Homo-oligomer: A and B are copies of this chain.
Amino acid sequence: MYLDLLLVGFGHVARRFVKLLDERASVLHDRHDVRCRIVGVTTARHGAAFDPNGLSTAVLLDRYASGSSIDGTDRDRAGRDYSWLLSEARHHTATACAEGRVVLIETTPLDVTNGGFPAIDHVREALLAGAHVITANKAPVAFGYRDLAARAAAAGRRFFFEGAVMDGIPIFNLVRETLPACEILRFRGVVNATTNFILTAMERGRTYHDALTEMQRAGIAEADASHDEDGWDAAAKTAALINVLMDGDATPLTVAREGIRAITPDRVHDARARGRRIRLVASAQREGGLLLGRVAPEELHPGDPLAQLDGLQNGLLLETDVLGTVGILQLDGGLTQTAYALLSDLITIAKQGTRDRNRGHSLAPSP
């Protein structure tokens, strides 16, 4: 199956993704019968490009690295925004759109101050244009899951977001594909790498500031790290998990939230002296008919699987009705893992497309 990709956002994750796509091209083709090409990209500060015959990954990355616009000009051409990208796609890849062979890769950053926009609009408009959508941005699933899932179903397209929580470690796929006839009753997790890295570093005698700076240099924390420090990132992930796994209707704003800025070295060492460890825990449970989400630093008993998560490690414990508690751990975190989440969703879309095609639906192979 041939897929045409549109990229909105070309930051660390998207750039790692296009490299991974090249590195894994033979696996994609040989094992999953998928061939991909990038036909359009818009960036925040490096212009935009579209070519229905495919853009070169190497050229895009070179131009980005050199600081010029990714279309080869030395400046940002006015009007080349997301609407322009979709309009180009509708015009130049109309057949592929109609056949469900266009996929939007959405990697713009999370913005909690404006209800998930513009990312939600990106998803809506792409679905209207006939594209599937894969996002690593938590905003659409944290603020607009129910609406977007309904729109995707109505359009006969997919809306996937495996990378929104715990990078490429399957969470949403795990529950959807491998836990049928199970209800998720509650969950607890360590889901933010930056804060976990800071708390672990403080246990080892480093300063908060020093650890945060290292995360920013590695591209894992933003220059403005308040999203991580104040628990917004974890709250958005909590809302996403509530919405998808527990059929809830949360947003990051409905999750009770306390960040880690008030955690002092004394408090970390005091807990350590009592055999405890402080972790930023995201959780949700039902109470009196309500689904309550919460993000807060907690002192964990050493036997708690979440207490063992150091540095960039993440983990999630799902309490189910029939299987008891199932834990899934991400013991290595990083950009590659997040980029892999996009790849994993892409393969799922391709597999389902092939299935639909075999069923005699409208999908057809590219000439």
A residues near B (Cβ < 8 Å) are 20, 24, 27-28, 31-32, 167-170, 173-174, 177-182, 302-303, 305, 308, 310, 315, 317, 322-334, 336-337, 340, 343-344, 347-348, 351, 355, 358-360
Contact between chains at A177 and B177 (CB < 8 Å): yes
Question: Of B32, B181, B310, which contacts A28 at CB under 8 A?
Answer: B181
Given A31-B181, A344-B180, A323-B24 contact (CB < 8 Å): no
Contacting residues, chain B, for A340 (C-beta < 8 A): 181-182, 322-323
For residue A171, give the distance in angstroms from its CB to the closest CB of chain B.
Answer: 9
Sampled A-B contacts (22; CB under 8 Å)? A20-B322, A31-B180, A31-B181, A32-B181, A170-B178, A180-B348, A181-B340, A181-B343, A305-B308, A305-B331, A315-B327, A317-B331, A323-B336, A325-B329, A325-B331, A326-B328, A326-B330, A327-B328, A327-B331, A328-B329, A355-B359, A360-B360
Name A28's closest neighbour in chain B (CB-CB).
B181
Contacting residues, chain B, for A178 (C-beta < 8 A): 170, 173-174, 177-178, 344
Contacting residues, chain B, for A305 (C-beta < 8 A): 305, 308, 329, 331
Given A177-B173, A177-B177, A325-B332 contact (CB < 8 Å): yes
Contact between chains at B332 and A329 (CB < 8 Å): no
Contact between chains at A336 and B308 (CB < 8 Å): no
CA–CA, A32 and B177, complex, Å: 12
Q: Which of A31, A181, A182, A328 has the most CB of B within 10 A?
A: A181
CA–CA, A351 and B176, complex, Å: 13
Contact between chains at A337 and B355 (CB < 8 Å): no
For residue A270, give the distance in angstroms from its CB to the closest CB of chain B.
Answer: 20
For residue A119, give the distance in angstroms from its CB to the closest CB of chain B.
Answer: 24
Contacting residues, chain B, for A181 (C-beta < 8 A): 24, 27-28, 31-32, 340, 343-344, 347
CA–CA, A322 and B28, complex, Å: 14
Contact between chains at A323 and B337 (CB < 8 Å): yes
Contacting residues, chain B, for A325 (C-beta < 8 A): 329, 331-332
Contact between chains at B308 and A344 (CB < 8 Å): no
CA–CA, A334 and B32, complex, Å: 37
Contact between chains at A327 and B327 (CB < 8 Å): yes
Contacting residues, chain B, for A179 (C-beta < 8 A): 170, 344
Q: Which of A303, A310, A327 has the most CB of B within 10 A?
A: A327
Name A31's closest neighbour in chain B (CB-CB).
B181
For residue A128, give the distance in angstroms from its CB to the closest CB of chain B.
Answer: 26
CA–CA, A60 and B327, complex, Å: 36
For residue A107, give the distance in angstroms from its CB to the closest CB of chain B.
Answer: 18
For residue A1, give the distance in angstroms from its CB to the closest CB of chain B.
Answer: 14
For residue A351, give the distance in angstroms from its CB to the closest CB of chain B.
Answer: 8
Name A307's closest neighbour in chain B (CB-CB).
B308
Contacting residues, chain B, for A333 (C-beta < 8 A): 324
Name A177's closest neighbour in chain B (CB-CB).
B177
Name A345's closest neighbour in chain B (CB-CB).
B180
Given A326-B331, A328-B328, A347-B303 contact (CB < 8 Å): no
For residue A13, give the distance in angstroms from its CB to the closest CB of chain B.
Answer: 14
Contacting residues, chain B, for A330 (C-beta < 8 A): 323-324, 326-327
The 10 A-B residue pairs with the shortest CB-CB distance, nearest first, are A324-B332, A327-B329, A170-B178, A325-B331, A177-B177, A173-B178, A180-B347, A359-B359, A27-B181, A168-B323
CA–CA, A69 and B336, complex, Å: 59
Contacting residues, chain B, for A32 (C-beta < 8 A): 180-181
Name A317's closest neighbour in chain B (CB-CB).
B331
